[in-house]
Structure 1
């Protein structure tokens, strides 16, 4: 359970790092602002066109009498918009990281540089890095979608669906959000998606402590824009922890007054 607090600590350290390096905070804001404008335009267009889409998809309801036609198509219109909003939330980070790949990679390198030690570089051309990032992001989004479908179905179970399932949903979102953010630093280190997931599962509480609070904050896209630079910095610090060799736990001290035992080799 200690790792939960450590993971949250890296999130806070990342925010403090960009606060102390104002230039990098400004650079890190640009991709989020670009993505926010694109998503706002797409959602605005969906809001205007959702009713036409619902009418086009339900020609069988053209002859329905009032108020059933309006109620049915109004429900579908709302469902289409909610689904679009859901897709926007779960893909915002992936798209922002893709748009800002050069910015965030430079930011992550600077964090490694200021913290001391080796500053890994992928050595790949930009187009290759963008392709790998897009491919891995799509894989992650598909995983999240599969988990989302399963959790949505379980949400209909009385009591559990209204208590346990939402918590599990935020844990899933936080885990994969942490994966997407740590991918910036781990991709520079040549770590593939499968190995990244293995590393994060090995420190699951650390990953959740970092990702779940961020997933809750990212429910508000405008907040996500301002937290993104610090999130990338914090994820880089977390990666440095994941790479560090784990020290074995120290043996518990002997009870007071106990005589140590000696064994012959």
Structure 2
């Protein structure tokens, strides 16, 4: 529970950071607005086509009497749309980060700069950073699809499919959402995808505590756009602590070693945002 709360505190700290640096908030909203338009169109199309898909995969039920035909296809339509939402939440971040790579890279660097210590730079040209980001996002998407298929199948299990599976879905979504968000800061620190996954799995509850509330919030239209800049800032704060980025700033008073602390992890760089400055 402590790690779950710690992850949520990183999320709040990131939102406070961008609110204290208004220029960066506006700067970070642009990629999310572009992605929102694209995903809104895709989800509207899915909403219209999900019932046709349910009828296509259940031809054996054409002769069923009411209400069983409607219940079966209505249930399948709901599952398809929920799977679409699940994938949208995960891929929205990846696509938005890809579209806004220069924006979020600059924002993440500014967070590092304002928190003190080293400000890592990848030293790679933009096209190379975009290629690495797209390649890693596709690899992560493969993992997400695997989990999505398993959870989709588990949704047919009575009771479990309506209780345990949704909770697992939010946790899985939260983990991979955080992976995408921290990739901005960790890629600059030359931490590649396998190392990132190992690092985040070592603090799984902390990661879920950061990502799961975002998944819930991202289900509300427009919220994802406005939370993305702060989410990148919070993920940068988390990445700093998980990698022991600096030794100087300590957590808030009474926080002990801070939520990012653990074996081999320096708990610096987390706390209230510094005084606003550009």
Deviation at 1:162, TM superposition (A): 2.2
The alignment status of 1:227 with 2:231, answered yes or no, reads no
Report the TM-score, using the length of structure 1 for normalisation.
Answer: 0.80
The alignment status of 1:177 with 2:205, answered yes or no, reads no
Deviation at 1:155, TM superposition (A): 2.3
Residue aligning to 1:9: 9
- Counterparts of 2:54 and 2:166, CA distance in 1: 29
Residue aligning to 1:136: 136
Secondary structure at the residue paired with 2:118? coil
Residue aligning to 2:108: 108
Task: Note if contact 2:39-2:88 (Cα within 8 Å) is conserved in structure 1.
Answer: yes
Once the two structures are overlaid, the 10-residue window that deviates more, 167-176 or 151-160, is 151-160
Taking a change above 3 Å as real, the CA distance of residues 6 and 247 of structure 1, as seen in their structure-2 partners, is closer
Task: Note if contact 2:89-2:215 (Cα within 8 Å) is conserved in structure 1.
Answer: no
- Counterparts of 1:51 and 1:248, CA distance in 2: 50
Residue aligning to 2:145: 145
Please identify the structure whose Cα radius of gyration is greater: 1
Deviation at 1:40, TM superposition (A): 2.2
- When you count helix as a share of all residues, which structure comes out higher? 1
Report the TM-score, using the length of structure 2 for normalisation.
Answer: 0.76
Secondary structure at the residue paired with 2:4? helix
- Counterparts of 2:79 and 2:164, CA distance in 1: 24
Residue deviations 1:192-226, cap 9 Å, x none? 11000000011112111111111111122411111
Residue aligning to 1:156: 156
Structure 2 counterparts to residues 122-133 of structure 1, below 5 A: 122-133=122-133
- Counterparts of 1:196 and 1:165, CA distance in 2: 26
The alignment status of 1:239 with 2:239, answered yes or no, reads yes
Q: How many residues align?
A: 245
Task: Note if contact 2:83-2:152 (Cα within 8 Å) is conserved in structure 1.
Answer: no
Residue deviations 1:140-171, cap 9 Å, x none? 11111101111222222233222222211111
Q: Which runs of 5+ in 2 are unaligned?
A: 246-260, 265-278
- Counterparts of 2:4 and 2:82, CA distance in 1: 32
The alignment status of 1:167 with 2:167, answered yes or no, reads yes
